[in-house]
Structure 1
């Protein structure tokens, strides 16, 4: 069958978590086949957190074996992949019961080869031989999302099973679409397409009929739970025709198109309002601006070595600010509390002429390391300068972003955001912008109100 006649259809956990939902999904698959395209199906694990076969449930099952020990990542990947295997088997059986030959395929059988990194593997290549063989037999391939096998297997054996990280089923679908030269990739969810805001926060959020790859990538990176950012990037890189649709309605969904194929008015619109998870904001006052680059470099180095990603960075001649995700807060706090940075009188000076020590107060966690180390440094103050770097910490913050296909072509976006936040009394700790968006760091308690107000201000409702 010609490559252009293939279509990849991906179904998320809520599309396969009951017989009723699976029947709705199979109607989409059968409709595609009856239209003359041959479907290649990708499925996620059944249900969401708490469901018997959901990925998080399987992960906890392994953790419960020995709560005092961290499971080996190889075994963790093996058990987490079981959810998709169960889902693919049940979906294939459902299609068979309706008279449509189908075959369940693990990621390895489907030819998905990864770099072997447990828990967050990257797809290196796809050998679609088994998929093409199934199609030649008129069997619908039902591929396990979220998984593949490592390249480094012994002769005659494939390598270890590896998982692709959060959103891995989306990545599987996009990568298969590229490898199979599919005529389209359809991502099926429980919403009608890409919304102008989270419908749980804004019930009147509108479904976009068309969206560019760049807008999709920006929305997903900024927290929109539509498709995984890595999948959006693959679709954009390979210019794969992509649709976001609902399993449970006949709504047309959202079509994702290249920028050069988008209507001109998309370049001057506000696309939507997105929000991301919990974070913590750090602000440092550095007394001597001449030494600031050395201090910044040391902070960045230590954060990188500890695996702490920082974002929404801001600088002035004597200040440094940044945010970290909530799950890395304790690591960042322990690194910065009482941290000492020796600095010479000039960049090449040896020995150091000044010791800088970070001084924070962490709410219920006073700056213990600072109070322990500061008295020790007093013994050398007659020989060397010891300077405090006072810091502030704002816990429980989140990022709210306004995405515009080219906000620099949309007059007054930044001013409108500030005006809206100011009039509502919502404090803005930090602002960052890109060619596609403007993001604000605000208290987590204000996120619902901020999203609703910005959505209304930019007239994004129906």
Structure 2
């Protein structure tokens, strides 16, 4: 008797694993125009993130005060920290902070805050000198740190006009000068002339 063995089934390799990304990255184009193919995207218009170069405006704000607080001098670094922490805990906004060898100075944005600061300093027994009725001049630029000669132009203009600069400071888009409030409008006008700006203009 003959026996026929069944033919073995054709070998089929196991299915290959397919990695499915957990998150697809989708590019969003700001502008799509008429397309010749449903999956064809038109080239986008280039976007510019470059800021306007050069000085754009000179502004002033009045009513500020400036105070310099003398430190006891036993441990200056620790004493600076104690003073600044006391100012922060009292909720006093300050600007143009400068650390001197034996003192700390800063500006106060208005008369009411200056009164509060004076009460704090008196209550803690600090020796200080406060100057009131000042103005903050702001020289604005889109990229101030890329410019040169701005501080020199400021001091040259103020020196020729006989105007004392009590304090200066800077940020990424502005340079600041603290001067007497009675000279604020005149100083702003002179600085606009120095930097070739028209009267008025845009804000900082």
TM-score by length of 1: 0.31
CA shift for structure 1 position 259: 6.5
Q: In the alignment, is residue 321 of structure 1 matched against residue 105 of structure 2?
A: yes
Q: In the alignment, is residue 271 of structure 1 matched against residue 8 of structure 2?
A: no
Q: How many residues align?
A: 152
Write the distance in 2 (CA, Å) between the matches of 1:304 and 1:450.
32
1:282 equivalent in structure 2: 67
TM-score by length of 2: 0.68
Residue by residue over 1:35-65, the C-alpha shift from the partner in whole angstroms, topping out at 9 and shown as x without a partner, is: xxxxxxxxxxxxxxxxxxxxxxxxxxxxxxx
1:292 equivalent in structure 2: 76
Write the distance in 2 (CA, Å) between the matches of 1:441 and 1:305.
25
Write the distance in 2 (CA, Å) between the matches of 1:304 and 1:454.
34
CA shift for structure 1 position 431: 0.5
1:425 equivalent in structure 2: 162
- For the residue of structure 2 that corresponds to 1:260, the secondary structure is coil
Give the root-mean-square deviation of aligned CA atoms. 2.0
Q: How does 1:110-121 map to 2 (within 5 A)?
A: none
1:334 equivalent in structure 2: 119
Higher RCO structure, 1 or 2 (CA under 8 Å, sep 6+): 2
Write the distance in 2 (CA, Å) between the matches of 1:299 and 1:261.
41
Write the distance in 1 (CA, Å) between the matches of 2:165 and 2:48.
32
Q: In the alignment, is residue 435 of structure 1 matched against residue 172 of structure 2?
A: yes
Runs of 4+ in 1 over 4 A off after TM superposition: none
Write the distance in 2 (CA, Å) between the matches of 1:274 and 1:358.
34
Gaps of 5+ in 2: 1-46, 200-204
Write the distance in 2 (CA, Å) between the matches of 1:426 and 1:447.
10
Write the distance in 1 (CA, Å) between the matches of 2:156 and 2:141.
18
Q: In the alignment, is residue 305 of structure 1 matched against residue 73 of structure 2?
A: no
- Answer whether contact 2:62 2:133 (CA < 8 A) is retained: no
Residue by residue over 1:281-327, the C-alpha shift from the partner in whole angstroms, topping out at 9 and shown as x without a partner, is: 10123352x62222222222222222211111111222210011222
Note closer, same or farther for the CA distance 1:287–1:299 as it changes in structure 2 (3 Å cut). Answer: closer
- For the residue of structure 2 that corresponds to 1:275, the secondary structure is strand
Gaps of 5+ in 1: 1-257, 340-356, 360-390
Note closer, same or farther for the CA distance 1:328–1:259 as it changes in structure 2 (3 Å cut). Answer: farther
Note closer, same or farther for the CA distance 1:293–1:453 as it changes in structure 2 (3 Å cut). Answer: same
Structure number with bigger Rg: 2
